[in-house]
Chain A
Amino acid sequence: GEDVEQSLFLSVREGDSSVINCTYTDSSSTYLYWYKQEPGAGLQLLTYIFSNMDMKQDQRLTVLLNKKDKHLSLRIADTQTGDSAIYFCAEDKGYSTLTFGKGTMLLVSP
């Protein structure tokens, strides 16, 4: 497809794991990113993965990459109410600009 695709909404209970999925467009993208946007704030880079990796773990965050299917996921373990935000998947097609998905709103309830 032409667009980076993400589900629009995910709701979880505090303490559960959250998994946010993304399908990107270009199999030659070198870097894939997850950004977090809290209300009224700019985007913050959460983590990124280089295309020759299958998995990257960073504290509560686990990124899985399936290059064959152009599928990227972000798992947040032990989700907290402070994790409530919009999460954007982005790919770097090598032109130094990023192509973003529309974002997944994560709502964490107590």
Chain B
Amino acid sequence: GAGVSQSPSNKVTEKGKDVELRCDPISGHTALYWYRQRLGQGLEFLIYFQGNSAPDKSGLPSDRFSAERTGESVSTLTIQRTQQEDSAVYLCASSVGLAGNEQFFGPGTRLTVL
């Protein structure tokens, strides 16, 4: 496809379970970002991948959160032992990687932790 895709679009889970969210960036985009948008809040930066460099994990809120990226393609965001406060829309974006370049956002995954 032409844009960033994310799956699943919706995920409902029980507290304490692990979840995996997937992002397929635009082909050729070397930079990939994960953000979290809680209800009524702005976007929070979580993690950033750029090429083969070590990811910038400075936004991850706890050690329950981790993310991986395979080369310059798919990324997965994993949340272990989910808590109710993890409920949010998780947005992925990609860009060509240079500062100031437009970030293209996916539609997001809405996570609800019961």
Interface of A with B (CB < 8 Å)?
A: 3-4, 30-31, 35, 40-45, 48, 50, 88, 90, 92, 94-103
Interface of B with A (CB < 8 Å)?
A: 4, 31, 33, 35, 40-43, 45, 48, 50, 56, 59, 91, 93, 95, 97, 99-100, 102-108
8 contacts across the A-B interface (CB closer than 8 A): A31-B99, A42-B106, A42-B108, A43-B43, A44-B105, A90-B43, A100-B42, A102-B40
Is B48 in contact with A43, judged by CB distance below 8 angstroms? no
* A to B contact number (C-beta, < 8 Å): 57
Chain A residues lying within 8 Å of B107, measured Cβ to Cβ, are 40-42
* Given A30-B100, A96-B99: A42 and B105 interface contact (C-beta under 8 Å): yes
Q: With the chains together, A100 CA to B104 CA distance in Å?
A: 15
Residue of B with least CB distance to A96:
B99
Chain A residues lying within 8 Å of B42, measured Cβ to Cβ, are 3-4, 88, 100-103
Chain B residues lying within 8 Å of A50, measured Cβ to Cβ, are 100
Chain A residues lying within 8 Å of B106, measured Cβ to Cβ, are 42
Is A97 in contact with B56, judged by CB distance below 8 angstroms? yes
Is A88 in contact with B43, judged by CB distance below 8 angstroms? yes
Is A97 in contact with B45, judged by CB distance below 8 angstroms? yes
B39 to chain A, nearest CB (A): 11
For the complex of A and B, the 3 pairs showing the least CB-CB separation, nearest first, are A42-B105, A102-B42, A100-B43
Is B103 in contact with A45, judged by CB distance below 8 angstroms? yes
